[in-house]
Chains A and B, each alone.
Chain A
């Protein structure tokens, strides 16, 4: 057998075994050692990362891709479902990225959660999540993808509600599950359509057979699934609420890995998506709306984690825009680079929060650059990468996306919104740095603040390296599948940079107003719109559940009985019969006139019938 494919298959199956082994050991009846989390889980993920470099190198060197089909799950005459792992460009690059980020986050979590009595269980949940994520990413058929899809959704629920004694955390976990479920309706619809029309859930067969079909309906189902999972506008409120979970959860699930699964699904389905203009336009407009709306909401938030969460949502909207431009590889590039700097932003926030004794409000931070210089420097690096500073990681993906946006034939409004959102990105990033790192501390110096713990510094350092060089590494080694437009006017080429600088200057100007005691009459309604998240959660979370629950309660306890017993059943017979009975009774009251008129009426009727 060929050496490359053997090595590839072996290393990939080894990764799976490495990751599942700690989960299986945790099922034994003996209690786990207290350092199980650090020694077994983190080491397993670290080794899995190093082993996953091997397929990556084989792919970069030889272009080796593999599809491993093992163990048929169920098969009928015409429909097979088997465990089928696909290692193509997307899964080969994403797996090392996800494992690298997870390794750093697990190391950080061993510091962040060290006071938690159930830390082993926390790590077990994170590991199960990682396994589900890799199952999703390497899936070659829709069934396995669905298994991974549901797996990441359930683990997200368990991890957001980690501190289940807190009602807000429970509500947030419920929100995540319910919004994801609404998205799952779309996915299951698409799967059903594909199963009935294309007769297979294997991606190869789906893509070859789907050329002759009108794919609008299943594609809209897939877009709804991506809307739910990747928090696009309409199904987005769960993502900021998910910040109720511990910071490692936010860093892993809700920035780098889980929320990109919706976008990843659309990237996987891009052969089906590329010829359908309607679906592409929907992606474009939805992504543009999401990116601007969430960037607007991020402008006035005061919780550092919420700002980063809205930033994630805005970047997810940008990825959706890229898919709408028919550039799945660019979207994938943005997924990979975004994972690094977003996870680092979350880890820096977590480090700052923990140092300030669990203070999350940026209005009560300040001057952290003197107290935690390394963390605040990495916060700055991450923010620069996020805004697309030239030659950091985010630049390669973000600038390419904006260039593709500027040179495409597309909806003019969908062009304008992401540009505006890019400038907002600069504004809220500066806001975070201004309130957190710059200035003087606005908190009491109660607890000693230091960052001399390698478990905190090393993960952030690793992710900082990733934020700086990942973009360069990936773009220099992967040949693009679509030719990028190289010739464009200077204004379009520098549009992203110009818009970012405008945003930065505006934010600096606004920040300098804070110490001038400038007292304008504030126009509060835009501030309220932004601060209350566009009123979307307020309106939707009060209206929809209330209508549904009240309707359900009224139907179940009153309407059913009232209908069947009063309006349709026994009482109805009485109400229907009563007029008939009274009429009949009134006629037969013994009044001669009535009898006489009736006699003549029937007599004339009989005469008429006889004659005609």
Chain B
């Protein structure tokens, strides 16, 4: 018995045939006629129902409790965004903490996202994944970091400006040719007397 089942599993199964059979079964079981049978028969069992979608801002305590239950949160923890026309509705306002801050050693359902199934997702969850923004506490306060970094950059830019104003170079002087400083070669008048030019004394 067991061997034959094992052998049966080893035989390659035509997945296309299996899929077609399942589709035909779903079609035959669906209610309605024609196109609606096709649609209702093929509807998947998973996916969000209309009740689980976000709704309007909860005004009464009962609405708050229902919203907290919908988002799988405790009523004490549930806090919606303020109702100021920005369109958040009853979506919960979770603390602005990135996934990097969560325990790396806990056995999460999704280890790379450090999140469990059914946990309420932050509005900016895609920003707080581990490849993006990290809100982990830093050893040095944020203001100190900004001041030191931009102070360093500003200091460097200032010093480069000063360095451009006062460049460094080896001392140079105009070249001193002997006799009459190349008067004839430089196109001087051969009739006239050349004047004595001395840039420096050796």
Contact = CB atoms under 8 A, between A and B. Distances in A.
A571 to B, nearest CB: 10
Contacts of B177: none
Nearest to B147: A535
A412 B163 contact: yes
A535 B152 CA distance: 10
Contact of A411 (B87, B126, B148, B164): B164
B131 A170 contact: yes
Contacts of A267: none
Interface string A282-310: 00010001000000000000000000000
Interface residues of A, number: 40
A546 B135 CA distance: 10
Interface in B157-179: 159-160, 162-164, 166-170
A542 to B, nearest CB: 6
A566 B126 CA distance: 28
Interface string A550-569: 10010001100110001000
A-side binding surface: helix, strand, loop or mixed? helix
Contacts of A488: 170
A281 B127 contact: no
Given A534-B149, A542-B134, A553 B167 contact: no
B87 A542 contact: no
A549 interface: yes
Interface stretch (A33-41, A515-523, A524-532, A602-610): A524-532
B124 A541 contact: no
B146 A411 contact: no
Nearest to A536: B149
B163 A414 contact: yes
Contacts of A407: 170
A24 interface: no
Given A542-B134, A550-B127, A411 B160 contact: yes
Contacts of A408: 169
A35 B132 CA distance: 39
Interface in A332-391: none
A413 B159 contact: yes
A388 B140 CA distance: 36
Nearest to A553: B124
B138 to A, nearest CB: 6
B86 interface: yes
Given A411-B163, A535-B148, A174 B169 contact: no
Interface residues of B, number: 33
B126 to A, nearest CB: 8
Contacts of B148: 525, 529, 534-535
A412 B160 CA distance: 8
Interface in A149-179: 165, 167, 170-171, 174
B156 A545 contact: no
A285 B160 CA distance: 7
A539 interface: yes
A534 B152 contact: yes
Contacts of B146: 535, 539
Contacts of B131: 167, 170-171, 174
A528 B141 CA distance: 11
Contact of B162 (A413, A532, A535, A545): A413
Contacts of B61: none
Interface string A403-421: 0000111111111000000
B133 interface: yes
B85 interface: yes
B93 to A, nearest CB: 15
Contacts of A411: 160, 163-164, 167-168
A412 B167 CA distance: 5
A550 B124 contact: yes
Nearest to A549: B127
A539, A557, A558 — most chain B CB neighbours (10 Å): A539
Closest 4 CB pairs of A and B: A413-B163, A411-B163, A535-B145, A412-B168
Given A411-B168, A492-B170, 12 more contacts: A165-B112, A167-B131, A289-B156, A411-B164, A529-B152, A534-B148, A542-B133, A549-B126, A549-B127, A549-B132, A562-B85, A562-B87
Interface of A: 165, 167, 170-171, 174, 281, 285, 289, 407-415, 488, 492, 525, 528-529, 532, 534-536, 538-539, 541-542, 545-546, 549-550, 553, 557-558, 561-562, 566
